[in-house]
Structure 1
């Protein structure tokens, strides 16, 4: 997806940067981060691209580095219940995705690529 520098992209960029900060620094997301790190110990960057609070669980969709979508369902009331985890490629995730969510993914991929490029420089 080609980004054009629109206001929508700018607003999504701010939301995604905040999601990254909250994932790595917030106590509320500690369990989510532990699950992600157990699966991807070499992870450099992650963005929460979707969060669906259900009645007894939270469903998160995260972009890990710039190449995998990780969907994690965490039980909100019982940390002992194993999370339900699904992996998708970027191509798989894009299938049937709304225009708004395609833009959000495009912005997240751009942020992740720039972050990874800066780490390698």
Structure 2
């Protein structure tokens, strides 16, 4: 299996999903690192700040895409645990997430996801663990 996902594969995978509705753009994916961006606009809480849950969606999306590349053909990655610490808020622009592999095993894969604002300030650190299963269908 190719160690990276092509843009066409990513576009097909996110069509009609929460990822598309939140305007998350996945910019690169391999088994070890995935990156992507998300606009703050449209993903805010009532105070006008980036919603903490939106950070978690971005984090889980990036880690899950990377874990699916690691899983390989005929297998799939499903999230079994995600946690996040919100360090700062964002009011506008884009945030960028980078998922970096912490553990790539036969049955699980874990990632640390760092999300920064446009100035490079860390706004969130998340951790995701995925279980690797046989793909059905």
Give the TM-score normalised by the residue count of structure 2. 0.28
Q: TM-score, normalised on structure 1? A: 0.31
Report which of the two has the higher share of strand: 2
Give the structure with the larger helix fraction: 1
